[in-house]
Each structure stands twice: as C-alpha cells, then as structure tokens.
C-alpha cells in the first residue's frame, strides 16, 4: 500500500499494544518526528512501563505535539489511541493548527498480537488487555474516524500490509 501524506500533518498511529506502531514509526519517520507515549513515560519516570506516570507522560506528549505543530512540523503520535476520548485533544490540536489529520490504523489479527505479547520481555500484561483494546478499537473507533475530523484514514490489517507500506510525504511547493 502506498500512502501519501501532506508535509504538514499530525499522524496518529492507532492500534492495540503489540500491533507494531513503534516499529512502523521507526521505519518510516525520523526520531524527531515521533512523539511516543512510552518515551514520554520514560522521560518523566525513568521507566516506559510505569503506568502510574501515564498522566504526566500524556501531558508532556500533548505539550510536545503542540510545540511541533506550532512550528509547522510533521508530527507522529505513537500511542495506542484506541478510544475517541484519548484522541480528542490531539484532534483539537490538529484543527487549531490547520494541519491534515491522518490515522494509520494497525488492525492486526488476534493471533499475531498474542504471539507478539508472548515474545515481549519488556512488558507483562494479560490477554484481557488485548481484548479490551481490540474491543475499544472497533466498538467506538475505526469506523467513525472521519467523523472525529481525520481527513485521511489508512488501515493496515496484517504484518504484510505493514511490511509493504510505502509512505510518501507531499511537500508544498
């Protein structure tokens, strides 16, 4: 799949834990373009897995996104973003800065997610986390993204879709 994204965009990676969001971000964007909730958690608590730091981490994430958009910079948010409420303030930031709002939805099959979860040594969470996030992703999310304000929505539904993804950035001339 080839995806064309305007140079001034806020790109939200949307997918459950282990769907490949961070890998996709590293593969297609520079480190300075990606604002990661895990990295923000590590910055405020010295541990990206410290869930008690999530509030502070997202406060930092929103601050960084706002500063990048103020400067007209392409910005990628690497967080689960599976619930509309978790996206709302970011959608508002994109609207305030008149940038294109893009969703890259990583909708991996449950067996792939379970296999990846078992291989992860950095995180320990149960199947219920994946089930809850997948439910949130589909019950109130993916089919409604355009109504939230997303101008471009791309769904990747297999590891092969992610591997074959080509992203081109449209520069304004």
Q: What is the pLDDT of residues 120-148, one digit of tens each?
A: 665 555 666 666 666 667 666 677 899 99
Whichever domain contains 37, its CATH number is 3.40.50.300
Strand 100-106: give its sheet, edge to edge: 34-36, 75-78, 9-14, 100-106, 152-156
CA-CA-CA-CA torsion sign (145, 150, 152, 158): negative
Task: Provide the pLDDT for residue 111.
Answer: 74
Task: Provide the pLDDT for residue 109.
Answer: 84
Helix H segments across 29-173?
Answer: 37-45, 54-70, 84-96, 110-119, 127-139, 145-148, 159-163
Task: Provide the pLDDT for residue 37.
Answer: 96
The domain of 45 spans 2-170
Flag residues of the chain having pLDDT under 70: 116-136, 138-141, 173
Dihedrals phi, psi of 3, to nearest 5 degrees: -120, 130
Task: Provide the pLDDT for residue 173.
Answer: 61
pTM of the predicted protein model: 0.88
Q: Under a CB-based contact definition with an 8 Å cutoff, are residues 93 and 65 in contact?
A: yes
Tally the domains of the chain: 1
């Amino acid at each position: 799949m080839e995806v064309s994204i305007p140079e001034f965009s806020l790109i939200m990676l949307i997918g459950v834990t282990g769907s490949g969001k961070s890998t996709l971000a590293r593969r297609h964007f520079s480190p300075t373009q990606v604002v990661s909730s895990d990295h923000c958690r590590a910055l405020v608590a010295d541990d990206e897995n410290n869930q008690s730091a999530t509030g502070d981490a997202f406060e930092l994430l929103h601050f960084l996104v706002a500063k990048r958009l103020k400067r007209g910079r392409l910005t990628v948010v690497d967080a689960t973003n599976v619930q509309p409420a978790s996206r709302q303030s970011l959608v508002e930031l994109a609207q305030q800065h008149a940038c294109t709002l893009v969703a890259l939805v990583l909708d991996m099959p449950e067996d792939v997610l379970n296999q990846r979860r078992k291989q992860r040594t950095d995180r320990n969470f149960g199947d219920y986390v994946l089930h809850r996030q997948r439910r949130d992703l589909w019950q109130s999310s993916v089919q409604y993204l355009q109504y939230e304000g997303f101008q471009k929505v791309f769904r990747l539904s297999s590891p092969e879709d992610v591997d074959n993804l080509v992203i081109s950035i449209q520069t304004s001339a």
